Structure 1
Amino acid sequence: MRGFWRKHGLVMLGGMCQGFGMGLFLFPNSIPSGGAGGIAVLLNYWFHINMGPALWIVNFSFMLFGVKYLGKRFTLWTLIGITMTSLSIDFFESHFSIPNRSLFYDLIIGSMFLGLGIGILMRNNVSNGGIGVIAIMISNGRNILPGKPLFLINSLIFLVTAAVISWEIIFLALISQWISTTVVDVICRVDFSPSYSFGWRKKP
Protein backbone atom coordinates (compact mmCIF):
# COMPACT_ATOMS: atom_id res chain seq x y z
CA MET A 1 0.00 0.00 0.00
CA ARG A 2 2.88 2.30 0.81
CA GLY A 3 4.33 1.62 -2.64
CA PHE A 4 1.00 2.48 -4.26
CA TRP A 5 0.77 5.89 -2.59
CA ARG A 6 4.40 6.61 -3.34
CA LYS A 7 3.85 5.87 -7.02
CA HIS A 8 0.62 7.88 -7.00
CA GLY A 9 2.46 10.87 -5.56
CA LEU A 10 5.28 10.62 -8.09
CA VAL A 11 2.85 10.30 -11.00
CA MET A 12 1.02 13.41 -9.78
CA LEU A 13 4.37 15.22 -9.42
CA GLY A 14 5.40 14.20 -12.94
CA GLY A 15 2.13 15.49 -14.34
CA MET A 16 2.49 18.78 -12.45
CA CYS A 17 6.05 19.29 -13.73
CA GLN A 18 4.89 18.73 -17.30
CA GLY A 19 1.94 21.06 -16.84
CA PHE A 20 4.15 23.76 -15.34
CA GLY A 21 6.62 23.64 -18.22
CA MET A 22 3.97 23.55 -20.93
CA GLY A 23 1.34 25.85 -19.45
CA LEU A 24 3.63 28.63 -18.26
CA PHE A 25 6.47 28.54 -20.78
CA LEU A 26 5.93 26.48 -23.96
CA PHE A 27 2.28 26.79 -24.94
CA PRO A 28 2.09 30.61 -24.56
CA ASN A 29 4.68 30.67 -27.37
CA SER A 30 2.78 27.99 -29.39
CA ILE A 31 5.72 25.60 -28.94
CA PRO A 32 4.38 22.01 -29.13
CA SER A 33 5.68 19.69 -26.42
CA GLY A 34 5.41 16.72 -28.79
CA GLY A 35 2.98 15.25 -31.28
CA ALA A 36 0.01 15.46 -28.92
CA GLY A 37 1.06 18.98 -27.96
CA GLY A 38 1.15 19.94 -31.63
CA ILE A 39 -2.40 18.70 -32.17
CA ALA A 40 -3.49 20.53 -29.01
CA VAL A 41 -1.93 23.75 -30.36
CA LEU A 42 -3.93 23.28 -33.59
CA LEU A 43 -7.18 22.68 -31.65
CA ASN A 44 -6.50 25.85 -29.70
CA TYR A 45 -5.76 27.77 -32.89
CA TRP A 46 -8.77 26.51 -34.85
CA PHE A 47 -11.44 26.08 -32.17
CA HIS A 48 -10.12 28.24 -29.31
CA ILE A 49 -10.16 25.31 -26.88
CA ASN A 50 -7.99 25.95 -23.83
CA MET A 51 -4.68 24.09 -24.01
CA GLY A 52 -5.28 21.96 -20.90
CA PRO A 53 -8.56 20.40 -22.09
CA ALA A 54 -7.27 20.22 -25.68
CA LEU A 55 -4.21 18.20 -24.64
CA TRP A 56 -6.35 15.90 -22.47
CA ILE A 57 -8.72 15.20 -25.37
CA VAL A 58 -5.80 14.35 -27.68
CA ASN A 59 -3.98 12.17 -25.15
CA PHE A 60 -7.15 10.35 -24.07
CA SER A 61 -8.15 9.69 -27.69
CA PHE A 62 -4.80 8.12 -28.53
CA MET A 63 -4.71 6.24 -25.25
CA LEU A 64 -7.98 4.47 -26.09
CA PHE A 65 -6.16 2.71 -28.93
CA GLY A 66 -3.76 1.17 -26.45
CA VAL A 67 -6.11 0.00 -23.69
CA LYS A 68 -6.43 -3.57 -24.96
CA TYR A 69 -2.78 -3.82 -25.96
CA LEU A 70 -1.06 -2.24 -22.96
CA GLY A 71 -3.44 -3.36 -20.20
CA LYS A 72 -5.92 -1.64 -17.90
CA ARG A 73 -3.45 -0.94 -15.08
CA PHE A 74 -0.97 0.80 -17.37
CA THR A 75 -3.83 2.76 -18.95
CA LEU A 76 -5.20 3.82 -15.55
CA TRP A 77 -1.85 5.18 -14.39
CA THR A 78 -1.39 6.96 -17.71
CA LEU A 79 -4.87 8.47 -17.38
CA ILE A 80 -3.96 9.83 -13.93
CA GLY A 81 -0.76 11.31 -15.36
CA ILE A 82 -2.35 13.01 -18.38
CA THR A 83 -5.25 14.32 -16.28
CA MET A 84 -2.85 15.90 -13.78
CA THR A 85 -0.84 17.38 -16.64
CA SER A 86 -3.93 18.93 -18.26
CA LEU A 87 -5.25 20.32 -14.97
CA SER A 88 -1.83 21.84 -14.25
CA ILE A 89 -1.64 23.42 -17.71
CA ASP A 90 -5.07 24.98 -17.25
CA PHE A 91 -4.17 26.21 -13.76
CA PHE A 92 -0.85 27.83 -14.72
CA GLU A 93 -2.30 29.36 -17.89
CA SER A 94 -5.25 30.85 -16.00
CA HIS A 95 -3.55 32.09 -12.83
CA PHE A 96 0.01 33.01 -13.81
CA SER A 97 1.63 35.15 -16.48
CA ILE A 98 5.20 36.21 -17.16
CA PRO A 99 5.67 39.93 -17.95
CA ASN A 100 8.25 40.78 -20.61
CA ARG A 101 8.76 37.11 -21.35
CA SER A 102 11.79 35.91 -23.31
CA LEU A 103 11.33 33.21 -25.94
CA PHE A 104 14.83 31.86 -25.24
CA TYR A 105 14.28 31.45 -21.50
CA ASP A 106 10.75 30.13 -22.00
CA LEU A 107 12.08 27.48 -24.39
CA ILE A 108 14.89 26.35 -22.07
CA ILE A 109 12.96 26.38 -18.78
CA GLY A 110 9.77 24.94 -20.23
CA SER A 111 11.61 22.10 -21.97
CA MET A 112 13.58 21.23 -18.83
CA PHE A 113 10.42 20.94 -16.72
CA LEU A 114 8.74 18.98 -19.52
CA GLY A 115 11.63 16.51 -19.53
CA LEU A 116 11.62 16.31 -15.74
CA GLY A 117 7.92 15.43 -15.72
CA ILE A 118 8.24 12.81 -18.47
CA GLY A 119 11.30 11.33 -16.74
CA ILE A 120 9.46 10.97 -13.43
CA LEU A 121 6.56 9.24 -15.20
CA MET A 122 8.84 6.87 -17.10
CA ARG A 123 10.70 6.02 -13.89
CA ASN A 124 7.37 4.70 -12.68
CA ASN A 125 6.59 2.83 -15.92
CA VAL A 126 3.87 5.33 -16.86
CA SER A 127 3.48 6.89 -20.30
CA ASN A 128 2.96 10.62 -20.69
CA GLY A 129 0.16 9.61 -23.07
CA GLY A 130 -0.61 10.61 -26.63
CA ILE A 131 1.73 9.66 -29.42
CA GLY A 132 3.99 7.67 -27.10
CA VAL A 133 1.33 4.97 -26.74
CA ILE A 134 0.98 4.65 -30.53
CA ALA A 135 4.76 4.55 -30.95
CA ILE A 136 5.04 1.72 -28.40
CA MET A 137 2.37 -0.29 -30.23
CA ILE A 138 4.08 0.22 -33.62
CA SER A 139 7.51 -0.67 -32.22
CA ASN A 140 6.24 -3.91 -30.71
CA GLY A 141 4.22 -4.83 -33.78
CA ARG A 142 7.13 -4.24 -36.19
CA ASN A 143 9.90 -5.27 -33.76
CA ILE A 144 11.70 -1.92 -33.98
CA LEU A 145 12.79 0.64 -31.42
CA PRO A 146 10.04 3.14 -30.49
CA GLY A 147 12.23 6.17 -31.21
CA LYS A 148 11.83 5.93 -34.99
CA PRO A 149 8.00 5.85 -35.18
CA LEU A 150 7.81 8.46 -32.41
CA PHE A 151 10.13 10.79 -34.30
CA LEU A 152 8.33 10.30 -37.63
CA ILE A 153 4.84 10.86 -36.18
CA ASN A 154 5.94 13.90 -34.16
CA SER A 155 7.78 15.37 -37.16
CA LEU A 156 4.69 15.04 -39.36
CA ILE A 157 2.55 16.78 -36.74
CA PHE A 158 5.19 19.51 -36.31
CA LEU A 159 5.13 20.09 -40.08
CA VAL A 160 1.35 20.47 -40.12
CA THR A 161 1.40 22.75 -37.05
CA ALA A 162 4.16 24.90 -38.57
CA ALA A 163 2.36 25.14 -41.93
CA VAL A 164 -0.80 26.37 -40.19
CA ILE A 165 0.72 28.73 -37.62
CA SER A 166 4.40 29.52 -38.28
CA TRP A 167 7.39 27.70 -39.78
CA GLU A 168 9.48 28.89 -36.84
CA ILE A 169 7.61 26.29 -34.75
CA ILE A 170 9.58 23.39 -36.30
CA PHE A 171 12.88 24.86 -35.16
CA LEU A 172 11.58 25.61 -31.66
CA ALA A 173 9.85 22.24 -31.34
CA LEU A 174 13.00 20.31 -32.29
CA ILE A 175 15.11 22.25 -29.78
CA SER A 176 12.47 21.61 -27.11
CA GLN A 177 12.45 17.90 -27.95
CA TRP A 178 16.25 17.70 -27.70
CA ILE A 179 16.34 19.47 -24.32
CA SER A 180 13.44 17.51 -22.83
CA THR A 181 14.68 14.11 -24.02
CA THR A 182 18.15 14.88 -22.66
CA VAL A 183 16.61 15.60 -19.26
CA VAL A 184 14.55 12.38 -19.52
CA ASP A 185 17.76 10.40 -20.15
CA VAL A 186 19.42 11.98 -17.12
CA ILE A 187 16.44 11.18 -14.88
CA CYS A 188 16.28 7.60 -16.14
CA ARG A 189 20.03 7.01 -15.70
CA VAL A 190 20.19 8.09 -12.05
CA ASP A 191 19.72 5.08 -9.78
CA PHE A 192 17.40 6.46 -7.09
CA SER A 193 15.99 3.10 -6.12
CA PRO A 194 16.20 -0.46 -7.49
CA SER A 195 12.41 -0.77 -7.20
CA TYR A 196 11.77 1.38 -10.28
CA SER A 197 11.24 -0.12 -13.71
CA PHE A 198 12.38 1.44 -16.96
CA GLY A 199 10.98 -1.05 -19.44
CA TRP A 200 7.86 -0.89 -21.55
CA ARG A 201 6.28 -4.32 -21.54
CA LYS A 202 3.29 -5.66 -23.34
CA LYS A 203 0.79 -7.09 -20.88
CA PRO A 204 0.94 -10.89 -20.53
Structure 2
Amino acid sequence: MQIYDSPPTEHSVLEDIQGLSLGVFLCGLGIHVLTHVGLITGQTAGLAVIVSYLTGYSFGAVFFVINLPFYLLAYRRLGLEFTVKSLMSVSLLSVVTDALPLGFTIDVLHPALGAVIFGATVGLGLLAMFRHNGSLGGLGVVALMVQDGTGFRAGYVQLLTDAVIFGTALFLFPASVVGYSLLGAVVLNLIITFNHRRDRYIAT
Protein backbone atom coordinates (compact mmCIF):
# COMPACT_ATOMS: atom_id res chain seq x y z
CA MET A 1 0.00 0.00 0.00
CA GLN A 2 1.42 3.35 -0.99
CA ILE A 3 1.61 5.97 1.75
CA TYR A 4 1.46 9.65 0.85
CA ASP A 5 3.42 11.98 3.06
CA SER A 6 2.08 15.44 2.37
CA PRO A 7 1.34 18.48 4.52
CA PRO A 8 -2.24 19.29 5.53
CA THR A 9 -4.29 20.98 2.82
CA GLU A 10 -6.41 23.97 3.74
CA HIS A 11 -9.96 24.26 2.53
CA SER A 12 -10.64 26.91 -0.06
CA VAL A 13 -13.36 29.51 0.48
CA LEU A 14 -15.57 27.69 -2.03
CA GLU A 15 -15.04 24.38 -0.22
CA ASP A 16 -15.98 26.03 3.09
CA ILE A 17 -19.12 27.52 1.57
CA GLN A 18 -20.33 24.22 0.12
CA GLY A 19 -19.42 22.26 3.25
CA LEU A 20 -21.13 24.63 5.65
CA SER A 21 -24.14 25.05 3.35
CA LEU A 22 -24.59 21.29 3.07
CA GLY A 23 -24.25 20.95 6.84
CA VAL A 24 -26.87 23.62 7.49
CA PHE A 25 -29.28 22.10 4.99
CA LEU A 26 -28.97 18.61 6.47
CA CYS A 27 -29.46 19.98 9.99
CA GLY A 28 -32.48 22.00 8.87
CA LEU A 29 -33.97 18.95 7.21
CA GLY A 30 -33.49 16.90 10.36
CA ILE A 31 -35.06 19.54 12.58
CA HIS A 32 -38.02 19.82 10.20
CA VAL A 33 -38.60 16.07 10.56
CA LEU A 34 -38.14 16.26 14.33
CA THR A 35 -40.68 19.02 14.86
CA HIS A 36 -43.15 17.40 12.45
CA VAL A 37 -43.40 14.32 14.65
CA GLY A 38 -43.49 16.47 17.81
CA LEU A 39 -40.20 15.31 19.30
CA ILE A 40 -37.44 17.22 21.07
CA THR A 41 -33.67 17.02 21.05
CA GLY A 42 -30.71 17.97 23.18
CA GLN A 43 -28.14 20.75 23.07
CA THR A 44 -29.03 24.35 22.24
CA ALA A 45 -31.35 23.22 19.46
CA GLY A 46 -33.25 21.15 22.01
CA LEU A 47 -33.71 24.16 24.26
CA ALA A 48 -34.95 26.13 21.27
CA VAL A 49 -37.39 23.38 20.28
CA ILE A 50 -38.81 23.19 23.80
CA VAL A 51 -39.19 26.99 24.06
CA SER A 52 -40.79 27.03 20.60
CA TYR A 53 -43.34 24.37 21.61
CA LEU A 54 -44.18 26.16 24.87
CA THR A 55 -44.38 29.72 23.52
CA GLY A 56 -45.51 29.32 19.92
CA TYR A 57 -42.55 31.29 18.56
CA SER A 58 -40.80 29.83 15.51
CA PHE A 59 -37.82 27.56 16.10
CA GLY A 60 -35.64 29.74 13.87
CA ALA A 61 -36.17 32.90 15.89
CA VAL A 62 -35.74 31.20 19.27
CA PHE A 63 -32.64 29.30 18.13
CA PHE A 64 -30.96 32.49 16.90
CA VAL A 65 -31.59 34.36 20.17
CA ILE A 66 -30.48 31.50 22.44
CA ASN A 67 -27.16 31.28 20.61
CA LEU A 68 -26.22 34.93 21.09
CA PRO A 69 -24.38 34.55 24.46
CA PHE A 70 -22.20 31.75 23.10
CA TYR A 71 -20.59 33.84 20.37
CA LEU A 72 -18.44 35.77 22.83
CA LEU A 73 -17.22 32.50 24.33
CA ALA A 74 -16.50 31.10 20.86
CA TYR A 75 -14.55 34.21 19.88
CA ARG A 76 -12.40 34.16 23.01
CA ARG A 77 -11.57 30.45 22.93
CA LEU A 78 -11.90 29.29 19.32
CA GLY A 79 -11.08 32.38 17.26
CA LEU A 80 -12.71 34.82 14.88
CA GLU A 81 -13.00 32.45 11.90
CA PHE A 82 -14.88 29.81 13.89
CA THR A 83 -17.15 32.45 15.44
CA VAL A 84 -18.03 34.09 12.12
CA LYS A 85 -18.72 30.76 10.45
CA SER A 86 -20.90 29.68 13.37
CA LEU A 87 -22.84 32.95 13.36
CA MET A 88 -23.49 32.66 9.64
CA SER A 89 -24.49 29.00 9.97
CA VAL A 90 -26.91 29.67 12.84
CA SER A 91 -28.46 32.57 10.93
CA LEU A 92 -28.86 30.45 7.80
CA LEU A 93 -30.32 27.54 9.78
CA SER A 94 -32.89 29.88 11.32
CA VAL A 95 -34.00 30.81 7.80
CA VAL A 96 -33.92 27.24 6.47
CA THR A 97 -36.03 25.80 9.30
CA ASP A 98 -38.68 28.47 8.80
CA ALA A 99 -38.66 28.05 4.99
CA LEU A 100 -38.69 24.25 4.67
CA PRO A 101 -42.34 23.77 5.79
CA LEU A 102 -43.39 26.07 2.94
CA GLY A 103 -42.14 23.63 0.30
CA PHE A 104 -41.81 20.29 2.04
CA THR A 105 -44.67 18.65 3.89
CA ILE A 106 -44.78 15.18 5.43
CA ASP A 107 -47.94 13.08 5.40
CA VAL A 108 -47.20 9.98 7.51
CA LEU A 109 -44.10 9.36 9.60
CA HIS A 110 -43.72 7.16 12.68
CA PRO A 111 -41.96 8.95 15.56
CA ALA A 112 -39.29 6.23 15.85
CA LEU A 113 -38.36 6.54 12.17
CA GLY A 114 -38.53 10.31 12.45
CA ALA A 115 -36.10 10.19 15.36
CA VAL A 116 -33.61 8.07 13.40
CA ILE A 117 -33.88 10.32 10.33
CA PHE A 118 -33.32 13.34 12.53
CA GLY A 119 -30.28 11.84 14.25
CA ALA A 120 -28.69 10.70 10.99
CA THR A 121 -29.21 13.90 9.02
CA VAL A 122 -28.20 16.27 11.81
CA GLY A 123 -25.22 14.08 12.74
CA LEU A 124 -23.94 14.16 9.16
CA GLY A 125 -24.69 17.87 8.92
CA LEU A 126 -22.69 18.66 12.04
CA LEU A 127 -19.76 16.56 10.80
CA ALA A 128 -19.67 18.57 7.59
CA MET A 129 -19.68 21.79 9.59
CA PHE A 130 -17.01 20.66 12.07
CA ARG A 131 -14.71 19.71 9.20
CA HIS A 132 -14.99 23.22 7.82
CA ASN A 133 -14.31 24.86 11.20
CA GLY A 134 -17.91 25.79 11.87
CA SER A 135 -20.70 24.76 14.20
CA LEU A 136 -24.23 25.63 15.19
CA GLY A 137 -22.90 27.47 18.22
CA GLY A 138 -24.33 27.03 21.69
CA LEU A 139 -23.40 23.96 23.70
CA GLY A 140 -21.70 22.48 20.65
CA VAL A 141 -19.02 25.14 21.08
CA VAL A 142 -18.47 24.00 24.65
CA ALA A 143 -18.26 20.35 23.54
CA LEU A 144 -15.60 21.15 20.93
CA MET A 145 -13.64 23.20 23.48
CA VAL A 146 -13.67 20.30 25.93
CA GLN A 147 -12.52 17.83 23.26
CA ASP A 148 -9.70 20.07 22.04
CA GLY A 149 -8.60 20.90 25.57
CA THR A 150 -8.86 17.52 27.27
CA GLY A 151 -9.30 14.87 24.58
CA PHE A 152 -12.71 13.90 26.01
CA ARG A 153 -14.87 13.25 22.95
CA ALA A 154 -17.32 15.98 21.92
CA GLY A 155 -20.00 13.34 21.42
CA TYR A 156 -19.72 12.21 25.03
CA VAL A 157 -19.92 15.81 26.26
CA GLN A 158 -23.10 16.25 24.28
CA LEU A 159 -24.56 13.01 25.60
CA LEU A 160 -24.06 14.22 29.18
CA THR A 161 -25.72 17.57 28.54
CA ASP A 162 -28.52 15.82 26.66
CA ALA A 163 -29.16 13.66 29.72
CA VAL A 164 -29.86 16.79 31.76
CA ILE A 165 -32.14 18.28 29.09
CA PHE A 166 -34.11 15.05 28.63
CA GLY A 167 -34.42 14.57 32.36
CA THR A 168 -36.01 18.01 32.59
CA ALA A 169 -38.23 17.25 29.57
CA LEU A 170 -39.82 14.33 31.45
CA PHE A 171 -41.63 16.92 33.58
CA LEU A 172 -42.94 18.77 30.49
CA PHE A 173 -43.76 16.10 27.89
CA PRO A 174 -45.18 12.55 27.77
CA ALA A 175 -42.70 9.77 28.40
CA SER A 176 -43.23 8.40 24.88
CA VAL A 177 -42.13 11.73 23.35
CA VAL A 178 -39.01 11.80 25.51
CA GLY A 179 -38.24 8.15 24.71
CA TYR A 180 -38.42 8.58 20.94
CA SER A 181 -36.50 11.86 21.23
CA LEU A 182 -33.76 10.14 23.19
CA LEU A 183 -33.40 7.62 20.35
CA GLY A 184 -32.73 10.45 17.91
CA ALA A 185 -30.20 12.06 20.25
CA VAL A 186 -28.33 8.77 20.68
CA VAL A 187 -28.10 8.26 16.90
CA LEU A 188 -26.86 11.82 16.43
CA ASN A 189 -24.24 11.71 19.17
CA LEU A 190 -22.92 8.28 18.21
CA ILE A 191 -22.34 9.56 14.67
CA ILE A 192 -20.34 12.48 16.09
CA THR A 193 -18.47 10.25 18.55
CA PHE A 194 -17.34 7.69 15.97
CA ASN A 195 -16.60 10.08 13.11
CA HIS A 196 -15.40 13.40 14.52
CA ARG A 197 -11.67 12.79 14.87
CA ARG A 198 -9.33 15.68 14.08
CA ASP A 199 -6.38 13.29 13.88
CA ARG A 200 -8.09 11.45 11.01
CA TYR A 201 -8.96 14.56 9.03
CA ILE A 202 -5.93 16.72 8.24
CA ALA A 203 -7.49 19.41 6.06
CA THR A 204 -8.29 22.62 7.94
Q: TM-score range by the shorter chain?
A: 0.7 to 0.9
The answer (yes or no) to whether the contact 1:35–1:155 under 8 Å persists in 2 is: no
Name which of structure 1's ranges 51-60 and 9-18 shifts more when overlaid on structure 2.
51-60
Q: TM-score, normalised by structure 1?
A: 0.79
How far apart, in 1, do the equivalents of 2:34 and 2:21 lie?
A: 20
The answer (yes or no) to whether the contact 1:115–1:184 under 8 Å persists in 2 is: yes
**Cα offset for 1:140?**
6.3
How far apart, in 1, do the equivalents of 2:71 and 2:175 lie?
A: 29
How far apart, in 1, do the equivalents of 2:151 and 2:113 lie?
A: 36
What amino acid does structure 2 have at the position aligned with 1:172? Answer: Y
**Cα offset for 1:80?**
1.7
| Structure 2 alignment gaps of length 5 or more | 1-9
Residue number in structure 1 paired with 2:30: 21
The answer (yes or no) to whether the contact 2:77–2:145 under 8 Å persists in 1 is: yes
How far apart, in 2, do the equivalents of 1:144 and 1:188 lie?
A: 12
How far apart, in 1, do the equivalents of 2:131 and 2:11 lie?
A: 17
How far apart, in 2, do the equivalents of 1:173 and 1:42 lie?
A: 12
**Structure 2 CA distance for partners of 1:44 and 1:109, relative to 1, 3 Å:** same
The answer (yes or no) to whether the contact 2:39–2:181 under 8 Å persists in 1 is: yes
Residue number in structure 2 paired with 1:118: 126
**Cα offset for 1:148?**
4.6
Residue number in structure 1 paired with 2:112: 104
**Structure 2 CA distance for partners of 1:186 and 1:148, relative to 1, 3 Å:** closer
Give the 3-state SS of the residue equivalent to 1:129 in structure 2. Answer: coil
Q: How many residues align?
A: 193
1:11 aligns to 2:20 (yes or no): yes
**Cα offset for 1:150?**
2.8
**Structure 2 CA distance for partners of 1:29 and 1:68, relative to 1, 3 Å:** same
Give the 3-state SS of the residue equivalent to 1:90 in structure 2. Answer: helix
Where do 1:121-132 residues align within 5 Å? 121-132=129-140
Q: State percent identity of aligned pairs.
A: 22
What amino acid does structure 1 have at the position aligned with 2:30? Answer: G
**Cα offset for 1:182?**
3.6
Residue number in structure 1 paired with 2:203: 196
Residue number in structure 1 paired with 2:177: 169
How far apart, in 2, do the equivalents of 1:125 and 1:33 lie?
A: 23
Considering only CA atoms, is the larger Rg found in Structure 1 or Structure 2?
2
Give the 3-state SS of the residue equivalent to 2:101 in structure 1. Answer: helix
Q: CA RMSD in A?
A: 2.8
**Cα offset for 1:144?**
6.0
| Structure 1 alignment gaps of length 5 or more | 198-204
How far apart, in 1, do the equivalents of 2:112 and 2:158 lie?
A: 25
Deviation by residue 1:104-131 (Cα, 9 ceiling, x = unmatched) = 3222222211111011111212223221
1:57 aligns to 2:65 (yes or no): yes
Q: TM-score, normalised by structure 2?
A: 0.79
**Structure 2 CA distance for partners of 1:93 and 1:62, relative to 1, 3 Å:** farther
